[in-house]
Amino acid sequence: MISYLKWQIIELDFLSATILTSGGVWYSVGINELTYSKLSLDSEVWIYVYHHITEGNQSLFGFVDYEEKKVFTELIKISWVWWKVAMQILSLWIERLVIAIQSEDNKTIEAIKWIGKKMAEKIIIELRDKDFGIYLKNQDTIKKANTISGDLHTSIKSTLTNMGYNPRDIDKILSELPEWINNAWNIIPHVIKELS
């Protein structure tokens, strides 16, 4: 079983990354848009991997954070939640997802592509008592507005504009950032999620 990969990204798009290991082996790893936003072509990375094996097929799914891999593993244990749905659910942003599950916020989960009311309820029932080892701040604190420096704002706006997003929409979301989102590593995935 493959549990992580480390070395160079040689191909990268919204749904997959190809990693060349130090041993010269290439692995294609499925990712989602949030993971994509944390990676860059030709960079050296350490990616946690879920190795999915079925009869006649093997697939790899990559996560920058170990906690995302843990949540993915639990999601695909739920009936009717296959890997593609689980990856889409994780695009919600893991802290926001866990808060929605623990507070039994059906509406937030229902808003995810391919998830209806019954599926949202099932996900909450199955996962609400799970401990994913994720530290969550008070939800009122999370909702408070945050401000970022002008240089960081400009850099993030430029990156996302080059990815095809509307500059005005980017500005609006950056002006309403939750307090706990305070660096590019967190901000870019958050903005992409809000623009989706």
**Which architecture does CATH list for 4-63?**
Beta Barrel (2.40)
pLDDT tens for 42-69 read 888 889 999 998 888 899 999 988 889 9
pLDDT tens for 4-45 read 788 899 999 888 999 998 888 999 999 988 888 888 888 888
For CATH 1.10.150.20, the residue range(s) in the chain are 67-127
Fold of domain 67-127: DNA polymerase; domain 1 (1.10.150)
Give the number of C-alpha atoms closer than 13 A to the C-alpha of residue 111, restricted to the C-beta side: 12
- What is the pTM assigned to this prediction? 0.67
The tokens for 134 are 């994720």
For CATH 2.40.50.140, the residue range(s) in the chain are 4-63
